[in-house]
Every structure is written in structure tokens, then in C-alpha cells.
Amino acid sequence: MVQLHSFNFKTEWIPTSIRYNRKEKKMSILSFPERGKWGDSNWRGNCSGHIYQALFNQYKDVKSFCDPMMGSGTSIAVAKEMGLTAYGLDLHSGFNALRHSIRDTIGQEVDMCHSHPPYSTIFGYSGCVWGDTPHPDDLSHSSNHEDFHEKMHLVLMNQREATKPGGYYGTLIGDLRKNGAYTSLQAECLTRMPANELVSVAIKAQHNTVSGRNTYSKMKHFAITHEYLLLWQKPKAPLSILFDLSEMAKAQAARLQSAWRVIVAHAMMALGGKASLGDLYKKISESAPDKLKSNENWQAKVRQILQVTPKFCSVERGVWAFA
């Protein structure tokens, strides 16, 4: 049974002294050292309520809000206090963003659907913060980062569906570095969602983080002390989900084709701007092993790129150059 946390407050019910000035606009770098009174400060990975104040101040047209991963309820408490109709869902209350439609669960579309997910497998929620055992669909128990990226893509699609045409959907997410390997969770979200719907990327400073408290005198790279507040706007006249998916597939295919053009051009550059097919194959196999592993017909792909890309031309049989 899904437990739905729904609030519909009118601003008139709130004393004028604590009403927020929704005229104040914020810049794209947000920093709030205090988390404020909202939500539960002991909830691991909770965020400052001031972020949500800034968000609702900025988007004054937002009157209804849903957080499908409300955790301790910070976003919902702020939304409620600012007079928005707010719906809070979470796996801990029986709602599963990977299996249940947000729109069908709350029974409507909202002006803004915004999540604050676990940051991949950095630490577990079910079985740790709540409940006795790990839940298999808890994003914090994803099997690896690739699994998380795919799940997060599905959550964002679910949020988009629950957003009114012209409304906003988004997420607050951070990047990770573990054992020297940097994983950009936000970059994957940006890459997988429709680029033409992206409206804002803001940086949120992180305060009181473990990395910020420790002094990493021997650390080579900057410690990560920021997160990203990502926002997309659903088109005013959205087309069908099948159209959306085919547009996303087209964008991914175009990106892959572009990556191949770069690989071939880079090899051509390294070979002095003119090379035989054999030399190009050799150079590419040295410099792009991952790409090759995922495409058994990579040599045919290289020939196709040379033939269809105007920046390459055939100078003699089996020899190509920059046009």
C-alpha cells in the first residue's frame, strides 16, 4: 500500500512574518551552509530546505509539486510552508519509482516534479536508514554505476510523465570519486534526457561533507564539494511517449555517429592528414579499443564514415585524406 504524503496549504494560513518572498531571484551558484528546520537532519544525505525555497522562489508559476524520493520530507515541508500543493512519495512508504507511475499514484500531473535520489551506491538507504533489509529496487543498492544510470533515466522519464505540459522536472544529484575513479552521475542524466528540454543547471555547494571535513593533503584532484540542480521543461505540446523515445534514440545514434567521425579524424590527424585504409585501421585499433569491442563491424564503420563525411576524400584507391 503506497503511503501518499499530500498537503494543500493556502499562503493565507501562514502568518505574514514567515511567508517567503517569492520575488527574490537566485543566481546559478547556490550555497546554504544551514540546512534549516525542514525534514530530518539525521536522515543520511538529506539536503538543505533553503534549496527548495530558492527553487520555488525562482519558479513562481509552480503551484503544485511532487518529490518521488522525499526521504525525510525536506522538500515537502518547504513546499507546504510556501503554500504549494505537495505530494511526497518514497520507497520507504511503498512507492517504487521504478515500477509505479508517479502520475497515476498521485492522480494528476504537477507543475514541478523534482527528485533527490541516492548518489548511486555511495551508501544504502533500505536496510540502513530505513527498513530491515535492502530493497532490490532501491537505487542506492544498484549493482553498479551503469545500473544506476539506467534506473535514474527511468525515474526521470517517470517524473517527466507526471509533469504538466510547460511544467518542470528535475533532480538534485552529485558526482562521485571512488578509488581514484570519477563518475559523473549528472552528466549521464544530461546525456540521456532530451537536450532540447534542458532549461537550467545550477551548482549547489555542499557543506559539512566528509570530504570537506578531511584534509586530503596528498589528494591530487579537487575534493568534490558541490552538487547539481538540474531542471528540464516539458514541452507545452508534448508528443507521444513513442515519439519522445524515438527522438531520444535518434539523438543517441547521432552522438555515436559523431564519436566515430571524431575517432576517424583523430587517426587521420595522427597520420599526417593522409593515410591508407590499413594504416587508419591500425591507428584506430590502437587508440579506440573500447569502441571497437562494442562494434564487431568497426572496419566497415570506418569505411562508411570516410565515404559519407564531406571532410574526408579518397585521393587514390585505398588512400584517404582530409578534403
Ligand X SMILES: C[S@@+](CC[C@H](N)C(=O)[O-])C[C@H]1O[C@@H](n2cnc3c(N)ncnc32)[C@H](O)[C@@H]1O
Give the residues lining the site for ligand X (CB under 6 A): 39, 43, 45-47, 68-69, 71-72, 74, 90-92, 95-98, 116-118, 125, 137-140
Output the smallest distance, CB 52 to ligand X, in A. 9
Segment (H or E) for 88: strand 85-88
Count of C-beta atoms within a 10 Å radius of residue 71: 26
Output the smallest distance, CB 88 to ligand X, in A. 9
The Cα–Cα gap between 309 and 158 comes to 38
CB closer to ligand X, 35 vs 164? 35
Output the smallest distance, CB 279 to ligand X, in A. 50
CB closer to ligand X, 138 vs 161? 138
Which of 249, 139, 272, 243 lies closest to 192 in space, CA to CA?
249
Output the smallest distance, CB 67 to ligand X, in A. 7
| Region label for 134, one of left (φ > 0), alpha (ψ between -120 and 50) or beta (otherwise) | beta
Output the smallest distance, CB 62 to ligand X, in A. 17
Output the smallest distance, CB 165 to ligand X, in A. 24
Count of C-beta atoms within a 10 Å radius of residue 298: 18
Residues contacting residue 246 through CB under 8 Å, at least 6 positions apart: none
CB closer to ligand X, 47 vs 268? 47
The Cα–Cα gap between 212 and 306 comes to 49
CB closer to ligand X, 96 vs 209? 96
Output the smallest distance, CB 137 to ligand X, in A. 4
CB closer to ligand X, 116 vs 301? 116
CB closer to ligand X, 98 vs 270? 98
CB closer to ligand X, 106 vs 268? 106
The Cα–Cα gap between 33 and 105 comes to 34
| Order of strands, sheet of 29-30, starting from the edge strand that comes earlier in the sequence | 5-8, 85-88, 64-67, 110-115, 163-174, 226-233, 198-205, 29-30
Question: Distance of alpha carbon 8 from its chain centroid, rounded?
Answer: 28
**End-to-end C-alpha distance for the chain, whole angstroms:** 64
On the CB side of 289, CA atoms within 13 Å amount to 1
Output the smallest distance, CB 179 to ligand X, in A. 22
Output the smallest distance, CB 40 to ligand X, in A. 6
Amino acid, single-letter form, for residue 266: H
CB closer to ligand X, 119 vs 320? 119
CB closer to ligand X, 154 vs 223? 154
CB 97 within 8 A of CB 69: yes
Helices 185-192, 145-161: inter-axial angle, 10-degree rounding: 50
Residue number of the CB closest to ligand X reads 71
